[in-house]
Every structure is written in C-alpha cells, then in structure tokens.
Structure 1
C-alpha cells in the first residue's frame, strides 16, 4: 500500500506540494558575502534532486546589520524592484532550489536580541534590538554570565520607527523572493528570534499597542503577515514557524490565542518547532538550569520520534483545516507515517538527516524498502574537549549546528557526507 507520505498537499494559496516530506531549514554557514553564492546553490541543487515535497531554505536575514549568523544571506538595502543585478542573483538561487520541480520556500528572519556581536554590520559593540530590553540569560553562574556578555550585546527596546522599519524589511525580502521565483516564504517566529520575542511575554514587556496582552504581542507578526500578503501574488505561500517548547502551562492558552489570530489572517501553513539559544530544545539539548521552564512530555510524545508532537495534536484539534508541519526528531518512515496517520501534522519536516542524505525521501517513499531499513539514525554530534567547562546545553546545540553545516558544505562540494560516529 502506498505510504501516506507520498500524498500531495495543497496549500490555501493554491500551491501544491507533491508529497508530505519537507527539507527543513538548517544553518548552511556558506554566504561569506551575505549573498547567495555558487556553493550555496550547489547544495540546494543536490536537494532539488532528492524527491522532497518542499524545500525550506536556511535563514535569509531581512537586515544585514542584524544577523543570526555572520554567514547567512541577507537583504542589504531597501528592495524597490528596480535592482536587476540583485534580482538576478536571487533568481539563480530560486532556480537551483526548484530545478527538478520541488517548490522552495524561503525562511526569512530577524534575530533581534539573539544577533551575535560578530554577526551583522552594526558593529560589535552596538546594541541589538528587541521588543523590550531583556538581555539573554543562559544561566546564573559566573561562566554563563561571561559567555553571554562576550557573545551578545544588551538589547535596546525598539521604537515605533524601528518597528515600522523592520516590517518594511520583511515585506521587501518577501517581495524579492516572490520576484525571484521562489514559491513562498516562511516567517521565522520560533527559536527565540525577533518575532518570537514579540509573541512571548518573557521577552515582551511593552505597554503600547505591541505588548501587554497576547493579542497585542501578536500585532507585530500580524502586521508583517498582512503587509506581505498585499505585496506578493495570491499564489505565493506565506507560512510561519512557531515555538511549542518555550511556553509554560500558564501561558498555553495565550499561545493558542495567537495561533488563532494568525490562522484568521490567512496563513498557508504553520510549522511547529521549539527552543531558543537559552533553551535549545530544537537540537535535542534542553536547558537543565533551574530557570528553564516547561512541562514534561506525555508518554505518547516520549514514545514517538517527533520532539513537539503533543503540541501539534492540540493545534490540530483546534484548527483541523490548518496545514501543519512538524519538525524535529524524525528519523524513520514508521515515525513519520505515525505522525501523519495520527493526525498530528500534514507535513513532516526533516533537517539533520537531509544534511547527511539529500535523497532521504527517495528511501522513505520506496515501497520496496521495508520499514526497518527506511531509517537514518543519528547520534549526537561530537563536542570539543573543553565542552565540560561550558554550559552543556549551549555547547551541545552549537556542536550540532556546526557539525551539520559542515555536512552541507561537503554536500555542496560533491564530497561524501557522514553521520556522527557511534
């Protein structure tokens, strides 16, 4: 019997994804000039041959002055639609991603207070921007405080002018991606980046129209979504990635309220992930400090591959028509099919296995391959010897991201890729 993973999925905008397997966004760390380059294109051309139902790119930053990584592609200036050289560069990227017919969706992002000192053109000692001036806290120990001080500047609260400028940057970036020929954009509202900072009461202490209630904290994201929809074709997909793991039981209903507002605004899909730099659950390294908050996973979630399954089930119950993507932890056909058959999601996001095997979907969708062989199990990435002296959650997550970025770079060069050694 054909796998449910092979079913096509039609988004509300009309875009049809040929199957349910999505190459999830990962850090590539290859854009030294902060523009798409041949190496980056070579990696995505490999994925375009892999049988994916959709390809989500790594972060494209909407402001070159505030970067999540020093080596992400970014928008360098205002996009008016008249810069033919800029458009030509991004058209090559879109063409490489979609060379074999797979729709490609660009993850667009602003890191807010999580922009590293060495990332972006604002200068090492310039402040980051955030909804409120809440510094990053990776722990109360002396080592943790020193690391945070060296790694990140303290943020300043965004003015109304800052908010309007960042909204324009998101819209400009989305319009550039549409003009370049991509199939859609995904707003990165998870992992502690700027959109997540506005949504979350831990980092948004504002008392104006952008803070104070769940609805007001969602306004920044809703304004971005609404303005993008005005600027792109109606067939251009707009999705969002949201966190599940950084909301405690006391704020759960606030998160559900915000999701309902996004759905009403015309969202094409919602990707569920989780974690932040302070608590990197998306990498399988939860924060073990007393400050880390969250609820224990149920037995059902613990027994499955997906990291954020329980949250996805709740969203599905409240929004049965919403196209859901669940990302984090899928390693086998059986696990992916279980999430689909159980109604937890419509799309399965696969990240780290895609860096090791760009054609992983061809294995999962091959009916002649038995379930026990339709797998790609991964150990934790190796960490440096000095890691025992540093916060385990942060160093472990950094090691994971760096290791798989290295595999993507090998993939781009046509070299063999490797899963972490057992």
Structure 2
C-alpha cells in the first residue's frame, strides 16, 4: 500500500508514510505563545502514526492576527524571551517525540485581520499589496460588515515589504524561530486569501512595481522569503507552501499560476500543498463530511470525488512530474486516499477535520490494514449543525466560520486534556444522507 510507504522530500526530510495532519485553526493561545495546552493537544497527534504534522497558523508578528488567540512570533525583552523559547522547544519536541517530523505553518492575514485581532490601534488599517476591500456580498449588511470588521486595507510600501524588519524579514524570522526550536521546517501559507495569496492573485495585487504587474512579479515576495529562509537555516530545513488551486471564482489563469509554481520550484521549495478558497469564497470549508455512497467506496468514481482540489493537482503534476504535491480537502476513506496516490495526482494526503476528531486516525484506522478492512477504513463525520440564528445572519461566510470554530473547539478539548467528541456517523445513519 503506497499510503504506508516512506517518502523523502528534496531537502532530505524523510516522512514515514503519506498521511499528513493538516494545519487547522486552533485559537487557543491568549498569550500568543505555544503553551501547555499546545503540548497536550499535539501529544495525541504525535502518538497517532502520522507521516507529517503541520501545526496550526503561526502569525509572523502580533500586530495583525487572524484570531485573537493565534500563536505569533513575539518581540519581547530578554527575560521573557527565554520563557518563550522554552515553550517553543517543548512544542517541537512534543510533536516529534515518536519520530514524526513536524513543520510550522507561518502566515500573515493581510486584509483578513479583524479590527479586534492584533496589537494595532483601533483606527489602524489592515495592510495588503493593494487597497482592495474584501467582498463578502452585495447586500447592505454584507458591505457594512466588511467596512466595520475589516475596512479597506492600505497599500504596503516597498520598504515595508522588503526593507529591514519588513514583511519578508518577518517571515524569515518566523522560520528561524521554528528552526531553532527543533521543528523540521515551515510551510508558507499562500492560500485562503491571506497576505501571500493577496500578492499572488491579480485580483488583489494591482501593483506595477517589483512586487506586481505580472504573474512573475506577483510571486517575487514568495521567492525572496524562500531564499531568505535558506540563508538563516540550512538545506535540510524543509520549506513548503500552501497555494490556492484555480477555480471559476477567481481571476487567476491556469498559465499564470503554473508560471508562479515554476518560479517557486526553482527557488527550492520542497513541497506544495494544493488548497483553495478565501474569506470571500470559502472553498476550503465546503467538505462533504459523510461518505455519500458507502456501498461503492471501492470504486474509482467515489475515490475521485473525495478531494476538492485533486483535479488541479493533476494539472500541476502534468507540468511538474517531480514536484512533491500534497492535497487536502475531503479525503475520508483509505480507498480514496490510496487511489489519489496511485493515480500520481499527489504524493501526500492532508487530513484536517477527521484528525481533530480522531487524532490517531492513521495508526488506528487508515494504516491498520491487519485489523481494519478497506470497507471499514473510512471516517464519515456528522455534519455540523449550524444553529438557526446563525442561518438567519445574511452573510454566508458566518456559517463557514461556525464550522471552522467547531473543529477548533475539538482541538481545544485536546489541549485541556479531554478527548475530542466522537462525531462519526454510524452505518445506519450514513444511508439517510
């Protein structure tokens, strides 16, 4: 079974199997430091038999945050700096205590930072490559929500991007903190509408300087970050990136995205995770948690529809046959995961929501071929019940946010020493969906 086979990334990092615990929203650090709750939560994943563990979002600074309780890279006096470093060391060692490598997802929310999240003043604008406001919809309520929560971002200056202490330096510093703590790498978050996505997309990057104006220049910030990380770490330190696929809701063209991927590959990336969606169009949350047809789980048709972004990954594979690709989104069965690997569309399977319900999913189910048959090796989750009052809010993104928060709650239960709620559907229930 290919799922259980080891794979070596270009940097030399060896993953014991192809199953990756994907990054998820956690929101459990009021101090912005990975504390004891992080260690407790990651103990469960460390014992789960994963091939790779990706941490939740770590923001490159605490001025702009995605949620009020994000982990962030903090600049503090030396007395506090040692305590922070010790917390990071414990986090890294806990994640990897059974030999599974762990890498840190580093991020900046850009224009997707709500006004109450971060160390900036109430009147300070969010930042972005260009002053393009979020579009959550055309209704009066939706437009007001954007103006109130996010506002119109201000355009970053070149000095703020590439000058000393600027955005590029902050990403590099985040990688250095991860490296010093003992993590095996970082993943740049270039998807879901966050800052690097805003630079990569022609819809949100209207610049005509060295960081915009063509698909290549829109990728320039990513290339400089990769080169900068290599200078402060080493060749064995893994650098990955999560990128959006091309879909009908974006103005990106396949050729433009492939050109950007080519430049990123040439810069020395070790793997690319294919994902998609933004706050405006939350594709990353539109996952069918239940298996729609359990009786045909062994068929290729069922396996193919398990992943949202697999088709775009196949396009990338055709152009870059040697690139290590990870696909996350919708995988729920051993058969579907194995088919995705066997087809050549991807090399790594990212698993999000099921890992927050069953942190030992690989060891107990997917890779446990001796005790769990192919027909039984799947995880169908009960769809999250969105309260009536939430449905009544005329902003469709609120429902998506509610689902994300639900699984964040499961992670926080783990951090508090509790078991996550087992929300798997039983066989009798699946037939009714």
Aligned to 2:279: 277
- Cα distance change on mapping 1:300 and 1:311 into 2, 3 Å: farther
Q: How does 1:79-158 map to 2 (within 5 A)?
A: 83-158=81-156
Using the TM superposition, name which of 170-179 and 238-247 deviates more. Answer: 238-247
Higher deviation after alignment, 385-394 or 353-362: 385-394
- How far 1:234 sits from its partner (Å)? 1.3
Question: Map of 1:317-356 to 2, 5 A cutoff?
Answer: 317-356=318-357
* Contact kept? 1:79, 1:176, Cα under 8 Å: no
Question: In the alignment, does 2:229 pair up with 1:231?
Answer: no
Alpha-carbon distance in structure 2 between the residues aligned to 1:5 and 1:242: 23
Could you give the per-residue CA deviations for residues 155-178 of structure 1, whole angstroms, max 9, x where no partner exists?
Answer: 000001210201110011100100
Secondary structure, counterpart of 1:108 in structure 2 = strand
Hey, what does 2:212 align to over in structure 1? 211
Q: Does 1:316 align with 2:317?
A: yes
Distance verdict in 2 for CA 1:23–1:261, change over 3 Å: same
3-state secondary structure, aligned to 2:253 = helix
Correspondence 1:53 to 2:55: no
Q: 1:254 is matched with which residue? A: 256
TM, length-normalised to structure 1: 0.92
| Displacement after TM superposition at 1:355 (Å) | 0.2
**Contact 1:279-1:285 at 8 Å conserved across structures:** no
Q: Give distance in 2, aligned partners of 1:19 and 1:320.
A: 20
Distance 1:246 1:105 in 2: 28
Structure-2 residue corresponding to 1:388: 391
Query: d(CA) in 2 for partners of 1:91 and 1:416?
Result: 25
Q: CA deviation at 1:410?
A: 1.4
Asked if the contact 1:380–1:400 (Cα under 8 Å) also holds between the matched residues in 2, the reply is: no
Residue 68 and residue 117 in structure 1: after superposition, are their counterparts in 2 closer, same or farther (change >3 A)? same
Render the CA deviation track for 1:275-303: whole Å, top value 9, x for unaligned.
000000000079xxxxxxxxxxxx97995
Q: Deviations over 1:113-151 (max 9, x none)?
A: 001111111123310000000011100111111221222
CA-based RMSD of the aligned residues comes to: 2.1
Q: 8 Å contact 2:304–2:336 — kept in the other structure?
A: no
Deviation, 1:393, is: 3.5
Give, in whole Å, the separation in 2 of the partners of 1:44 and 1:131.
34
TM-superposed deviation, 1:384 = 2.4
Q: How many residues align?
A: 407
CA offset digits 1:212-265 (Å, max 9, x no partner): 100110101111111111111211100000001456486111001000000011
Aligned to 1:268: 270
2:53 and 2:133 mapped to 1: Cα distance? 34
Cα 1:231–1:301 change in 2 (3 A) is farther
State which drifts further: 389-398 or 266-275: 389-398
- Aligned with 1:376 (options 362, 371, 379): 379
Do the aligned residues in 2 keep the contact of 1:191 with 1:275 (CA within 8 Å)? yes
How far the C-alpha of 1:414 sits from its partner, in A, is: 3.1
Structure 1 residue 306: deviation in Å?
A: 0.5
Unaligned runs of 5+ in 2: 289-299
Q: For structure 1, list consecutive stretches of 5 or more residues without a partner in the other structure.
A: 287-298
Distance 1:162 1:200 in 2: 19
Query: Which whole-Å deviations, capped at 9, do the CAs of 1:151-207 have from their partners, x for residues lacking one?
Result: 213200000121020111001110010010000000000000000000000000001
Question: Does the CA-based 8 Å contact 1:279-1:393 persist in structure 2?
Answer: no
